[in-house]
Each structure stands twice: as structure tokens, then as C-alpha cells.
């Protein structure tokens, strides 16, 4: 324990002394005239995502779980953290918590050497506590159902979490259904109603029997595209389901690259099906001052809707080397781009609205970027060769906090 503490302390001192350990008033890179850089927290640099519940932000990476107070969203304050007992691997995507328990998975395939499901008690934000490490129910993504009483994973397993310290595998939400290309993630639309990000998209009813959910509607793409994530705004009362794909490499503007999509849910209950309306991919450009990127490891990732979204509005999405894209969905389901943020070294994984104008971006290389979307341009377009202008960004430094073992950003 003493050796661990000394190592963390030395790391904190080294990090605090490096230029990259604090955000600067200017960040290299580009953004559309209506997007403002606010701050960067240089931690969780390999995080694939987080979760906001109330005034708390839950962030994980390959080493730690950290809880922040975001009462002042421009200055997230770390409250507590704990080490995640795993070998470095893919950090959990689409983090799941109800604010009382939180689940993390390690390993993509059930039965492999790293197949561990971790359940944490996060009711005390200063001291998140590991309840159990359960072998046999991990997967690439995990989804809480019915207030985390059950857990559906991307491998199909249903886990009974009514006793969080003793999880039990009790079923398979896929039944006998075969997916043509993916079963990547699920989203609970409203308690007990779950949409599977699969091909085809499958709408499940788990209200009566969460161990054996029934299929109530299906949406089938016209091709074998990979379906990555979905959101149905306002608990499934909006006209359009929002869906994202994901592809690796190539040009994100290509017609077979991962896209952001709208699906018409009108009369789904009567027809037992739904159809795609529109899809969006960024324009073909390698010029960063135009929002382009010369390389792309992957295309499209996690997205959220702006507060106040109702039958149309603005979506923020992490688009890897294409940075953060702001997309407007019309009342007819048509998609258009209204802004973008492309800082140097970006590989944006997920974008989360915190307020009506403020967005947290978890970036595989930059950590946490805090940016603001304005409804109108706040500056002229970039002159040739110029990047982001100065901003009143707060400074952060890395320090040791006595309340828990870890290195935390603290506002200066």
C-alpha cells in the first residue's frame, strides 16, 4: 500500500509539472464559429464513455472509476475514486449506473480469460466500493433494466442484480433470434422497454417477465451495416428513433461508412416494424479548418440529445478523428450538421450534454474536453492557417486528494 501511495504521489508531481497537465487558454485545433472551447481535464485518456446521473458524473477508464460533482458544470470536482481490479483492456463503453450501483465489464466474449463483471456500490460518492467480481457475465456493453434490478449484456445474457453482491445469469434476451451483423448494445427506452442496437434493430418488452422479454417490433436496415447505439428521445414518445453505426478505417464520408440515422417510429405498435428515414456522414474533406480530417481509425460513436430536444433538435456525437459533430434533426427526420469541434490529437469517443449549451467530450487521447455550443456564431470563420482563438478556460492541475487514492484534476 505504501509503495502504491508513493507511486501515485510521484506520478502526481510529475504530471503537475508537465505542460500537458493543465489546460491552456488556447487549445490547438479548429472548431465551427458557433463552438467554444471551455476547458480540458487531462485524465481518463483511454475512457470510452461515462454517465451523468443528476449532479454527478461517473467516469471510468482501464484503471479507475471516478465520481465528480458537476453542480458547476464548467468545474467538475472529483469526490471519490477507486481502482478497478482488472488488467488494462477496453474501458467499459456506455457506462451504466442508477446512482446506487454501477456495473463495469471486462472482456468482450463470455468465457474468455478476462470475462469479469464488476458491481460497485456508488451510493456514497466519496467512497465507491466494489461489491463483487463475477466471472461469466461480462461483455463489450452492459445495460441496466428496471432500475438495475436486471442487466442485459451485448452477448445476450440476462443477469439478475436484485442482490447486487450475488449476480446470477438467468436467461438470454436474444431467444432464438439470429442477427446478421451485430448485437452491440441495448438502451432502456422507458422502464422495461428495451431497444437492441443490432441488425435488425429489435424492440423488447421486459416489463412482465424480464427473464424472457418479448419482441414487439423490428427495424431492418437495407444492408448488413453494423448498428452500434440508439436513443429514442423522451422515453419513446418522439417520432424518430436515433441510431448510430460504427466502421473501422477508410473514409468516414464513404457511402458504406458508419452513419448517424433517424428511424420513423410512427405506427410501430400497429405495424410491428419501423423504417429508416435519413442518414448522415461528414463531408469528404481532409482540411481541419473545414471540419475535415486526413485520417480516420473509426467512424461514429456515442451520442446524446440536447436538453429540450422534442421531435427534433440537436445531437452531439463523438466521431473519433472527426472530433465532435453537432447534428440537427428536423421535425421530418432530416439530418444536417450545425457545428463541430476538432482539437489537435482528437479521437472523440462520446459526447454528453450537461446543460443546454455545455457538452462533455470523452476523448481517447485528450481526456475530458468541455465545450459550448452557441445557437449563433460567436466569431468569424478561421483565417487560413489559424486555429482556435483564446478563451477564458479555467486551469486545472493534477494533485493528490486525501479522500481517496488517485490523481485528480483540481481547478486553480
Q: Which DSSP string do the residues of 17-55 spell out, in sequence order?
A: TSGGGS--SS-SEEE-TTEEEEEEE---TT---EEEETT
Paired with 57 in beta bridges are 52, 68
- The owner of cell 488494462 is 88
Sheet holding 313-318, edge to edge: 29-31, 335-343, 324-329, 313-318, 303-305
Report helix, strand or coil for 341.
strand
User: Which has the closest alpha carbon to 359: 381, 335, 338?
Assistant: 338
Per-residue pLDDT of the chain (412 residues; tens, 9 = 90+): 333 333 333 333 333 333 333 333 346 899 999 999 999 998 998 888 999 999 999 999 888 999 999 999 999 999 999 998 866 666 788 899 999 999 998 766 555 656 889 999 999 999 999 999 998 888 889 999 999 999 999 989 999 999 999 999 999 999 877 776 668 999 999 999 999 999 999 999 999 999 999 999 999 999 999 999 999 999 999 999 999 999 998 899 999 999 999 999 999 999 999 999 999 999 999 999 899 998 889 999 999 999 999 999 999 999 999 999 999 999 999 999 999 999 999 999 999 999 999 999 999 999 999 999 999 998 776 554 455 655 554 544 444 444 333 444 444 4
The set of cell numbers assigned to 70 is 458537476
**Does the model's pTM come out above 0.85?**
yes
E strand intervals along 307-395: 313-318, 324-329, 335-343, 348-353, 358-363, 367-373
Could you state, in order of their start, the residue ranges of all structural domains in the chain? 55-172
Report helix, strand or coil for 2.
helix
Q: Give the Cα separation of 154 and 360 in Å (integer).
A: 25
31-51 burial: b if 16+ Cβ within 10 Å, else e:
bbebbbbbbbbbbbebbbbbb
List Cα–Cα distances, 263 to 130, 154, 190, 243, 286, in angstroms: 39, 22, 18, 7, 30
Q: Give the Cα separation of 35 and 291 in Å (integer).
A: 12
Q: Give the Cα separation of 382 and 389 in Å (integer).
A: 9
CATH (residue range 55-172): 2.40.128.630
Q: What is the dihedral of CA 315, 44, 343, 68, to 10 degrees?
A: 60
Amino acid at each position: 500500500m505504501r509503495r502504491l501511495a508513493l507511486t501515485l504521489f510521484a506520478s502526481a508531481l510529475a504530471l503537475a509539472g508537465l505542460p500537458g497537465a493543465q489546460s491552456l487558454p488556447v487549445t490547438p485545433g479548429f472548431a465551427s464559429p458557433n463552438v467554444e472551447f471551455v476547458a480540458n481535464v487531462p485524465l481518463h485518456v483511454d475512457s470510452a464513455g461515462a454517465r451523468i446521473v443528476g449532479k454527478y458524473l461517473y467516469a471510468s477508464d482501464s484503471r479507475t472509476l471516478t465520481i465528480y460533482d458537476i453542480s458547476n458544470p464548467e468545474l467538475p470536482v472529483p469526490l471519490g475514486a477507486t481502482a478497478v481490479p482488472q488488467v488494462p483492456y477496453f474501458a467499459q463503453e456506455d457506462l451504466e449506473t442508477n446512482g446506487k450501483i454501477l456495473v463495469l465489464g471486462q472482456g468482450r466474449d463470455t468465457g474468455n480469460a478476462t470475462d469479469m463483471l464488476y458491481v460497485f456500490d456508488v451510493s456514497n460518492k466519496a467512497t465507491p466500493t466494489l461489491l463483487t467480481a463475477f466471472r461469466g457475465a461480462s461483455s463489450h456493453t452492459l445495460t441496466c433494466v428496471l432500475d438495475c434490478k436486471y442487466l442485459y449484456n451485448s452477448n445476450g445474457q440476462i443477469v439478475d442484480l436484485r442482490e447486487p453482491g450475488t449476480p446470477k445469469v438467468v436467461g438470454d434476451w436474444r431467444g432464438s433470434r439470429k442477427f446478421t451483423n451485430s448485437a452491440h448494445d441495448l438502451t432502456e427506452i422507458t422502464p422495461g422497454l428495451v431497444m437492441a442496437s443490432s441488425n435488425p434493430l429489435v424492440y423488447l418488452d421486459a416489463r412482465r417477465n424480464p427473464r424472457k422479454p418479448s419482441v414487439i417490433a423490428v427495424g431492418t436496415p437495407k444492408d448488413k451495416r453494423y448498428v452500434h447505439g440508439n436513443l429514442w428521445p423522451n422515453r419513446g414518445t418522439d417520432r424518430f428513433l436515433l441510431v448510430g453505426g460504427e466502421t473501422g478505417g477508410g473514409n468516414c464520408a464513404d457511402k458504406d461508412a458508419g452513419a448517424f440515422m433517424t428511424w420513423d417510429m410512427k405506427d410501430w405498435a400497429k405495424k410491428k416494424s419501423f423504417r429508416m428515414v435519413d442518414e448522415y456522414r461528414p463531408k469528404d474533406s481532409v482540411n481541419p479548418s473545414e471540419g475535415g480530417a486526413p485520417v480516420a481509425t473509426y467512424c461514429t460513436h456515442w451520442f446524446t440529445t440536447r436538453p429540450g430536444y422534442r421531435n427534433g433538435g440537436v445531437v452531439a456525437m463523438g466521431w473519433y478523428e472527426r472530433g465532435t459533430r453537432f447534428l440537427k434533426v428536423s421535425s421530418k427526420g432530416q439530418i444536417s450538421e450545425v457545428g463541430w469541434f476538432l482539437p489537435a490529437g482528437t479521437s472523440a469517443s462520446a459526447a454528453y450534454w450537461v446543460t443546454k449549451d455545455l457538452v462533455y467530450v470523452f476523448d481517447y487521447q485528450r481526456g475530458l474536453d468541455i465545450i459550448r455550443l452557441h445557437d449563433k456564431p460567436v466569431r468569424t470563420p478561421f483565417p487560413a492557417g489559424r486555429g482556435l482563438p483564446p478563451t477564458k478556460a479555467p486551469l486545472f492541475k493534477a494533485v493528490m486528494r486525501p479522500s481517496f487514492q488517485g490523481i485528480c484534476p483540481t481547478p486553480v
